[in-house]
Structure 1
Amino acid sequence: MSEQRRSYEEYRTNYPARKLARRLGWFSIGLGLAELLLPRQLSSALGVHGRGSFVRLCGLREIATGAGILMSDNPKPWIQARVAGDVLDLLALGAAGQRGDATTAMVAAVGVTGVAALDLKCAKDLAKEDEPVTTFDYSDRSGFPDTPDQMRGRAASKGSMDNVPQIKGMAAADRETVNRH
């Protein structure tokens, strides 16, 4: 019967989610700069002419959330702010579609929905960092069923040690240096 493993709970950083958060932060800054610098062109492309000031406000929001993600040790609230911003963008595109070109607004809404899905996935994965993970202590294990002396040569001989030459000392060192060149 095996002995009981010692276990403890710890919180783990979700590195892939944090990497995605950084990418979304840079995306936010890029999009925000485009919205600040080209508000008329973007509003015309979306089919909502004359809404440049609204597009600029959205740009400021994007830059603020992007900078918050990149400068903070805890990107969770900033990613949640991106999700809220996506909801606002979808509402604005829905209203724009009723007033202007519905096809253009629909295409833009599909793009926003794709980014919103990434934001939601990132927020969900970052939220898992708040849940403790049970970790077991295997520090007393080597990964081999027997001692190193008993295991030596088994892979080459399929368990039989009769045909395996045992080279020790300087002969083994010389063999290793000769074969590597």
Structure 2
Amino acid sequence: MFHFGNIVRTKGDPKIVDSGTSLARPEDRLARALGWFSIGLGLAELFAPRRVTETLGMEGHETLVRAFGAREIISGIMSLSVDKNAGLWARVGGDGLDAAALISALTPDNPKKGNVALALLMIGGIAMLDYRAAQETKPKRPSPKARRRLYPDRSGFPKGLAAVKDRARQLTNGQARTGAPS
């Protein structure tokens, strides 16, 4: 069976035969997919804002589209990071901004209002996915009934604090006799 991980292996490296099942949870995979989608959309908005505004009948708003693109890229990177929950909530907020901007383009004189309506429907669906992913990846806190573990009788020294004090005395006495560190 061919495995893509073998492409970057050098001659002496062992081959990957089977990578096994993924340890990623479904909500982590969704967060990752949304993060990459956000980066892709952001790049399109950042580097082709005129195309986006022409498609939506929003000519003259290229700067706004570029700003939205930068926001998409940042929230996408955050969604791929360790703190993916913050990135997903940034995406949810961004969906609200996108919807508000699109609603402003739903005017009777916009010849592309059908495209705007379609974009609003798409944003609604993506917003639901963003919200679901943000809810499912929020940090888990222990229940209020969970017993908190306290370790007042532990010192952090494997042989106990008394053994450490004895060893410190031995070292101090040895230094006093020889005058040199042990």
Question: What TM-score results when the alignment is normalised by the length of structure 2?
Answer: 0.61
Cα displacement string for residues 139-158 of structure 1 (whole angstroms, at most 9, x for unaligned residues): xxxxxxxxxxxxxxxxxxxx
Query: Which protein has the bigger helix share?
Result: 1
| Pairing partner for 1:85 from 73, 88, 94 | 94
| Aligned match of 1:55 | 65
Matched-pair contact (CA < 8 Å) for 1:14–1:126: no
Query: Can you give the 5+ residue segments of structure 1 that lack an aligned partner in the other structure?
Result: 1-12, 135-181
Please state if 1:102 is matched with 2:113: yes
| Aligned match of 2:50 | 40
Matched-pair contact (CA < 8 Å) for 1:28–1:62: yes
- Determine the C-alpha separation between the residues in 1 that align with 2:54 and 2:87: 29
| Pairing partner for 1:112 from 123, 134, 157 | 123
If asked which structure has higher relative contact order (CA below 8 Å, sep 6+), I would say 1
Q: Once superposed, what is the RMSD of the aligned Cα atoms? A: 2.1
**1:102 shift after superposition:** 2.6
Helix, strand or coil for the counterpart of 1:97? coil
| Aligned match of 1:179 | none
Using the aligned pairs only, state the percent identity: 40
Query: Which protein has the bigger strand share?
Result: 1
Count of matched residue positions in the alignment of Structure 1 and Structure 2: 120
| Aligned match of 2:136 | 125
- Determine the C-alpha separation between the residues in 2 that align with 1:107 and 1:69: 25
Please state if 1:31 is matched with 2:41: yes
Question: What TM-score results when the alignment is normalised by the length of structure 1?
Answer: 0.61
